[in-house]
Amino acid sequence: MASEAEVARLFDGLTVADGGRARAARTRGQVFTPAALAAAVVELGLALVRRPARVLDPACGDGALLAAVGARAPQAVLVGIERDPTVARRARRRLPGARLFCRDALDGDLAVAAELLVGNPPFVRSIRLRADDPDGWRALRGRFAATSFGEWDVYGAFLERTLDWLAPGGAAVWIVPSRWLMARWAGPLRAHLAARGAVRQVIDLGARQLFAAATTYASIVVMGTGGGPRPMRLTRHDGQAWRGVDLDVATLGAAPWIAPAPGGGRAARRQGADASTLGAVARIAKGVGTNADRVFVLPDATVRGRWVEFAGGAIEAALTRPCLRGRDVGAAPRARCLVPYQDGELIPWRELSRRYPRAAAYLEAHRALLEAREGGRFVGDRFHAFGRPQNLAFLLDPSAKLVIPDVARAPRVWRDDTGALPLDSAYALRPRVDAPPPWRDLDRLAALFTDGTVAAWLARASVPLRGDYRRMKTAILAPMPLPR
């Protein structure tokens, strides 16, 4: 494993400007590797396997990583796999002596036993893959632990297959987004890798941007064969220096792989396992996604008796609710949202037209736009549905709740007593009915966001985004231990 000093030497100061801006490009989810980043990754790999006989890149793109290997280990046989014929031709011109194959490394069995693997696999979320390549999406869905749950990402399947491509004693160094360490979709992947003892070290590169063609919060994942379950070294920059901590990932399994609470060790791990968490005492739910805010969200709307007046006309007030975006948290809602739902269920179009004729006329005027969403998924009598009506019954409950933004530099919270509907850039939070008495108090829960508790947790458990913004989504907040 790389020491903190070695990590600093390899990755400090590594940015897009290091030769990557002109060459970085994005094609079919592939972000080509800048030369300086390729050199750092290869140097890390060659420190693990000093004279590899065979080096594999199963998603080699234009060959940047293999070229860096060839310059430093000329004895190695270079093997590259690239599914895009145009990009594969570029790699062949760059690496005339390499063994390059134009195919998908995830299709069938790839019979390669490499002493060293280096790679920067495609970053393609399943929702995008389904829209752009339905056959590819169907081929991967459910085939791997990494592609069996939620909005998975293609790179997870490459991580899962790694040990199948390595010779005994071999090692792999990947460049992948860091969100797999905490994302819900990656829980089955984490459990699979933990059971096999596959991951030796993760270097979380935080908010530093390495690719000109994409905003990506990257990590370097070091994997190896043999040895069974073992601790994993997590190395992150805390704003002052690189720090490393060993995680018992065999125990964590599918849970988020994050650093233990300050004062770590077995006692702290036991305390963290036994302590109440925010998710145990409160439900945290993502706001609704209309997929057409320009139609459903009515900015600066005014309620006048039975009607809501706005720039586009007037509709029945009974079919609207105040609404909050993440950027609105901290102020009373000014916009209203047209909500064609009752008790969490879509009101049938014929019934809506009869009960709310003005709202129906307004929606009908926007039918073409609403039906065009997601490739025509809403054509027909459900054209007025929200695109992502998740948690709708909970969100429409008129009882008091807390609303927090999805992304913020510092934790913000708003107590909502108006029955406002949070949109998908915000989250709603309410105590669970079985929460211990102290945590049934909404104001006490709100204090966690203002007294530094949530801020301290985010600094440890979340990936900093560009500008030092932080995500405050369910997967990050739910495991937060509550103060005793």
Is this prediction's pTM over 0.75?
no
**How far apart (Å, rounded) are the C-alpha atoms in residues 205 and 25?**
20
Domain 4-259 fold: Rossmann fold (3.40.50)
Provide the token pair at 434. Answer: 């079985």
Q: Tell me the C-alpha to C-alpha distance, in Å, between residue 251 and each of 32, 259, 266, 269.
A: 35, 13, 11, 10
Which of 132, 151, 131 lies closest to 141, judged by CA?
A: 151
> For the chain, how big is the Rg over CA atoms in Å?
25
Q: Tell me the C-alpha to C-alpha distance, in Å, between residue 219 and each of 136, 179, 210, 402.
A: 25, 9, 11, 33
Phi-psi region of 40 (alpha: psi -120 to 50; beta: other; left: phi over 0): alpha
**Coil/strand/helix, residue 451:** coil
Question: How far is the first Cα of the chain from the last one, in angstroms, to the nearest whole number?
Answer: 36
CA torsion 415-417-423-425 (nearest 10°) is -10
**Other CB atoms within 10 Å distance of the CB of residue 350:** 10
**How far apart (Å, rounded) are the C-alpha atoms in residues 337 and 343?**
16
Residue 176 forms beta bridges with which residues? 219
**How far apart (Å, rounded) are the C-alpha atoms in residues 15 and 482?**
37
Give me the tens of pLDDT residue by residue for the chain, a chain 484 residues long.
899 999 999 998 776 644 443 343 443 556 788 899 999 999 999 999 989 999 999 999 999 999 999 999 999 999 999 999 999 999 999 999 999 999 999 987 777 899 999 999 999 999 889 888 999 999 999 999 999 988 899 999 999 999 999 999 999 999 999 989 988 899 999 999 999 999 999 999 877 777 766 677 889 999 999 766 788 999 988 777 898 999 999 999 998 898 765 544 333 333 333 348 999 999 999 999 999 999 999 988 999 999 999 998 999 999 999 999 999 898 777 889 999 999 889 999 999 999 999 999 999 999 999 999 988 889 999 999 999 998 999 999 999 999 999 999 999 999 999 999 999 999 999 999 999 988 999 999 999 999 999 999 988 788 777 777 888 999 889 989 998 7
Contact by Cβ (8 Å): 480, 461: yes
Long-range contacts of 124-129 (CB under 8 A, 24+ apart): 124/28, 124/29, 124/153, 124/154, 124/155, 125/151, 125/152, 125/153, 126/151, 126/152, 126/153, 126/154, 127/151, 128/29, 129/29, 129/154
Domain map of the chain by residue range? 4-259, 284-477
CA diameter of the chain: 81
Residue 237 forms beta bridges with which residues? 242
CA-based torsion, 275, 280, 285, 286: positive or negative: positive
**How far apart (Å, rounded) are the C-alpha atoms in residues 472 and 454?**
9
**How far apart (Å, rounded) are the C-alpha atoms in residues 174 and 118?**
6
